[in-house]
Structure 1
Amino acid sequence: MALDTLKHKGKRNKLIQLLRSKGIGDEMVLEAMNQVPRHLFIDSIFEDLAYEDKAFPILSGQTISHPYTVAFQTQLLHVQRGEKILEIGTGSGYQTAVLVALGAQVFTIERQKELFEFSKKILKKIHFPPKYQTFGDGYQGISCFAPFDKIIVTAGAPNVPKMLLQQLAIGGIMVIPIGDEAQKMYTILKLDINTFETMEFGDYQFVPMLENKEL
């Protein structure tokens, strides 16, 4: 069976129409999501449901976010082609692929070994490889490649990790869900080395961003 069939593409078109009807207005984000075969990033038992606006369990007790959440976070980033983007929490690699489809240079980090191995394999297989992919603690970021034009965090953090703020370029944007069991989505604009402008964008629910866990 082909990796990405006409049936999959048809369902993906319907998903894009749904996201547009829910208020996603960035056509570049929608076009990028229309390129990425979401069904390959989840367990095959969910394949028929892959293009519904639902979250699904993935490896290591984690989840792949609702397509709307992926689209909304990506839209908040205002991605420009060629920008360096740090992604905290590769997961199965779906959000990574969307950012790559937008033309970004993606640097991504994952702390669950099983997910790190899975995402590395699938992203290469479908030709959406990030610029750099590593296994490690997201709270530490990837300082050797800083500063980043944009940072996206795909897990719920109890607060904003200071190391990540330091790795954000002046004029750069971080998109991060903050909170414990439920989160608020925030954008953080870095105005200068110690000055940040924060905006809140409603309630979301992510798996927690774990700190000080043995790798």
Structure 2
Amino acid sequence: MALSSRRGLQLAQLLEQEGVSDNRVLTAIANIPRDIFIPDALKHKAYQNTALPIGQGQTISQPYIVAKMTELLLKADNTPKRILEIGTGSGYQTAILAGIFEQVFSVERIKSLQFQAKRRMNQLDFHNISMKHGDGWEGWKSKAPFDGIIVTAAAAELPQALVDQLNDGGRLIIPVGNDQQQLKCIDRKGDEFIEQTIEAVRFVPLVAGALL
């Protein structure tokens, strides 16, 4: 993991003011250089608390949302170790997760984005990440169950495959909706699934079907 930079520390301090309180998340935000995940033309905006385009119609999420979703995973009843991420994208959220959890499994449907993200993970010397080119709606059945699942695109409805791949005591964090999206937190307690709505969000859609 990279050492904290001045801009990384400033971003972490800003997120703390926005209500992010878990020191593990704030440390990861400070340590991961967000600028390496940003296209060259937008690097001057890398440490702003805003989402940015990364090509292929995708975005790198707002740092607050990255931190919030990660913090929600950490607040699960069990101690999450194995995390499934749906939507690798630039790899920024992946890197934040890898800096905190033991194992991260990440699925991306756009091969070029996955390739770039894998190169960045090598650059950051992360070796606890497994990546798959696949349909996020299907999850990663052969690696299930997962202690936590985080989805970085908005699903029109809750994907049943992801619910099925959640470990007992595990937690799923997912934006749900089309025009009006809500960040949902689903906890599994045996055969019972407890859902709560966290806040309104705005994500690109979670696309099913053909891979790119």
TM-score bin (small chain)? over 0.9
The one-letter code sitting in structure 1 at the alignment partner of 2:200 is D
Q: Distance in 2 between matches of 1:214 and 1:38?
A: 27
Structure 1 counterpart of 2:13: 17
Is 1:199 equivalent to 2:196 in the alignment?
yes
Structure 2 counterpart of 1:114: 112
Is 1:179 equivalent to 2:197 in the alignment?
no
Structure 1 counterpart of 2:130: 132
Identity of aligned residues (%): 40
Structure 2 counterpart of 1:147: 145
Q: Secondary structure at the match of 1:151?
A: strand
Q: Over aligned residue pairs, what C-alpha RMSD do you find? A: 1.7
Q: Secondary structure at the match of 2:5?
A: helix
1:60-75 mapped onto 2 (5 Å cutoff)? 60-75=56-71
Structure 2 counterpart of 1:157: 155
Q: Secondary structure at the match of 2:11?
A: helix
Deviations 1:172-194 (A, max 9, x none): 0000000013310010001113x
Is 1:87 equivalent to 2:112 in the alignment?
no
What are the ranges of 5 or more consecutive residues in structure 1 without an aligned counterpart? none
Q: 1:108 to 1:214 in 2, by over 3 A?
A: closer
Shift of 1:81: 7.2
Structure 2 counterpart of 1:47: 43
Q: Distance in 2 between matches of 1:131 and 1:206?
A: 23
Structure 2 counterpart of 1:27: 23
Q: Secondary structure at the match of 1:58?
A: strand
1:123 counterpart (121, 124, 138): 121
Q: Distance in 2 between matches of 1:68 and 1:131?
A: 23
Q: Which segment is superposed worse, 128-137 or 85-94? A: 128-137
What are the ranges of 5 or more consecutive residues in structure 2 without an aligned counterpart? none
Q: Secondary structure at the match of 2:8?
A: helix
Q: Distance in 2 between matches of 1:149 and 1:203?
A: 24
Q: Distance in 2 between matches of 1:203 and 1:128?
A: 32
Q: Distance in 2 between matches of 1:153 and 1:50?
A: 22
Is 1:169 equivalent to 2:167 in the alignment?
yes
Contact 1:177 1:204 in 2 (8 A): yes
The one-letter code sitting in structure 2 at the alignment partner of 1:119 is A
Shift of 1:118: 0.7
Shift of 1:82: 6.9
Q: TM-score, normalised by structure 2?
A: 0.93
Contact 2:81 2:103 in 1 (8 A): yes
Contact 2:109 2:211 in 1 (8 A): no
Q: TM-score, normalised by structure 1?
A: 0.92
Q: Distance in 2 between matches of 1:112 and 1:207?
A: 14
Structure 2 counterpart of 1:98: 96
Q: 1:104 to 1:181 in 2, by over 3 A?
A: farther
Contact 2:82 2:101 in 1 (8 A): no
Q: 1:148 to 1:176 in 2, by over 3 A?
A: same
Runs of 4+ in 1 over 6 A off after TM superposition: 79-82
